[in-house]
């Protein structure tokens, strides 16, 4: 009969093994939210080597790469419909005639990192081979191609357990030996924010995004609809350096949004400490959209090293207000005209209070989109501006050190 001491030791060993098996990801790869571009929102499965190279060159020419957009991620549709005789995924030779490794090398030479897509089910969402049952084989293949980022979807999973599925692929990436950001695209149904911190670097919180202001179409949601779904996550301690809530790729610059709505979309993603993954056709974007995506001060809010996600403070039919605590005693505030018409939008910054209390001290107020210093908060805390429907004022309150 086993002694009590041996039983306790065995239980401790099993618990340690289980914990070790669960904590798999390569740490330190996403200390701030990842930034880059993904092919799905605009091109779906119509992707190719030429497209990726053209996008990469545009990111260089437009200043996006230098602004921090370094990940280029190929979504669904990069492989053939069947695995080869050895069970390996095969890049579509018409789309990628030189293979994935060649494209990865080309991107790495130009200062980018390269990502691929697959799925935890038997097939991907577009019907290509999924990774279920092939996790370790696929991870080794990605490592051999020098892949830096894996987006892992949740279609065709039947009754599979989400925690098991994503932990298995996380282990497979670890055992393949190449550090990769692991993006869990599970749509939030199994609350990955509660269990995935040690499994991946970011996790989707909702279904897919679509380029419309509000509402839903099948499994896709408008930008404002997704924002409303983030409210409880912002006031809970789920996100932070190396583990981020992901409200999906951006629709900034896509035709279903006005310019004001694109500016609002980008601003709120920065307030939420969301990954900034562009999803528009960068080769035809306007100067106004380029200016939104490359605004250094807005990006600095998103990339703040404290990594504290912002939250909504106020919601009325006419106005919404979001706040975010930043490093160094600074704060960010975003005031949105939520109405359907142009109107004067006014808010007193002294009204903001958080779970931790009110912002303390005095601040210099900067209107980021206007690139204008508005003065000191102690002298005038009321911000007022005429805004188009769904446009925003994005403010940085820089703490004045005594």
* Residues 129-178: tens digit of each pLDDT: 999 999 999 999 999 999 999 999 999 999 999 999 999 999 999 999 99
The per-residue pLDDT for 378 is: 82
The per-residue pLDDT for 23 is: 55
Say if domain 24-302 classifies as CATH 3.20.20.70. yes
Q: What confidence tens digit (pLDDT) does each residue in 97-133 have?
A: 999 999 999 999 999 999 999 999 999 999 999 999 9
The per-residue pLDDT for 219 is: 87
The mean predicted confidence, pLDDT, of the chain is: 93
Q: Write down the pTM of the prediction.
A: 0.93
**Active site members:** 153, 208
User: Residue 5: pLDDT above 60?
Assistant: no
User: How many Cβ atoms from other residues are within 10 Å of residue 15's Cβ?
Assistant: 10
The per-residue pLDDT for 95 is: 98
Domain boundaries defined on the chain:
24-302, 311-399
Q: 148: which 2 tokens?
A: 């830096």
Mean pLDDT on 201-213: 97
DSSP secondary structure, 302-345, as one string: HT-TT----EEEEE-SSEEEEEEE-GGG-EEEEEEE-SSS-EEE
Q: What confidence tens digit (pLDDT) does each residue in 27-66 have?
A: 999 999 999 999 999 999 999 999 999 999 999 999 999 9
Question: What percent of the chain is modeled with pLDDT above 70?
Answer: 94
Max Cα-Cα span within the chain? 79
Question: Domain 311-399 adopts which CATH fold?
Answer: Immunoglobulin-like (2.60.40)
Q: What confidence tens digit (pLDDT) does each residue in 303-349 have?
A: 999 999 999 999 999 999 999 999 999 999 999 999 999 999 999 99
d(CA 43, CA 263): 22
Residue with structure tokens 């202001």?
Answer: 213
Alpha helix (H) ranges present in 184-276?
Answer: 223-229, 231-234, 259-271
Q: Radius of gyration over alpha carbons of the chain, in Å?
A: 22
DSSP secondary structure, 235-291, as one string: TTTT-BTTBEEE-----TT-TTS-HHHHHHHHHHHHHTT--EEE-S-GGG--HHHHH
User: Residue 299: pLDDT above 70?
Assistant: yes
The per-residue pLDDT for 103 is: 98
Domains 24-302 and 311-399 share a fold: no
Confidence of residue 400 (pLDDT cuts 50, 70, 90): very high
d(CA 245, CA 34): 11
Q: Determine the length of the chain.
A: 402
The per-residue pLDDT for 354 is: 75
Mean pLDDT on 69-77: 98
């Amino acid at each position: 009969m086993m002694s009590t001491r041996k039983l306790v030791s065995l239980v401790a060993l099993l618990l340690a093994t289980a914990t070790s098996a669960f904590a798999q990801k390569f740490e330190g790869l996403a200390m701030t939210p990842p930034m880059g571009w993904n092919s799905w929102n605009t091109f779906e499965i119509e992707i190719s080597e030429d497209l990726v190279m053209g996008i990469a060159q545009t990111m260089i020419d437009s200043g996006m790469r230098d602004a921090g957009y370094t990940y280029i991620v190929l979504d669904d549709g990069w492989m053939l419909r069947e695995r080869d005789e050895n069970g390996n995924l095969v890049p579509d030779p018409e789309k990628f005639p030189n293979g994935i490794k060649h494209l990865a090398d080309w991107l790495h030479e130009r200062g980018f990192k390269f990502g691929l897509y697959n799925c935890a089910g038997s097939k991907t969402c577009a019907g290509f081979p999924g990774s279920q049952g092939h996790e370790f084989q696929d991870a080794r293949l990605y490592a051999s191609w020098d892949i830096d980022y894996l987006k892992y979807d949740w279609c065709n999973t039947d009754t599979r357990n989400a925690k098991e599925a994503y932990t298995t692929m996380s282990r497979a990436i670890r055992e393949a030996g190449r550090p990769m950001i692991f993006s869990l695209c599970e749509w939030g149904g199994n609350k990955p924010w509660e269990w995935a911190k040690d499994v991946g670097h970011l996790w989707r919180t909702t279904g897919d995004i679509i380029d419309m202001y509000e509402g839903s179409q099948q499994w896709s949601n408008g930008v404002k609809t997704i924002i409303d779904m983030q409210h409880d996550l912002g006031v809970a301690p789920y996100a932070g350096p190396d583990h981020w809530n992901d409200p999906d790729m951006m629709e900034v610059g896509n035709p279903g949004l006005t310019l004001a709505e694109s500016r609002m979309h980008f601003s709120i993603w920065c307030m939420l400490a969301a990954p900034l993954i562009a999803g528009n056709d960068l080769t035809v974007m306007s100067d106004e959209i380029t200016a939104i995506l490359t605004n250094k001060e807005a990006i600095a809010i998103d990339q703040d090293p404290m990594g504290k996600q912002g939250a909504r403070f106020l919601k009325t039919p006419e106005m919404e207000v979001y706040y975010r605590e930043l490093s160094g005693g600074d704060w960010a505030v975003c005031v949105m005209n939520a109405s359907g018409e142009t109107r004067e939008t006014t808010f007193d910054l002294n009204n903001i209070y958080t779970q931790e209390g009110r912002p303390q001290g005095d601040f210099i107020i900067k209107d980021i989109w206007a690139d204008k210093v508005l003065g000191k908060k102690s002298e005038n805390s009321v911000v007022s501006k005429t805004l188009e429907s769904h446009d925003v004022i994005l403010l940085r309150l820089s703490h004045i050190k005594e």
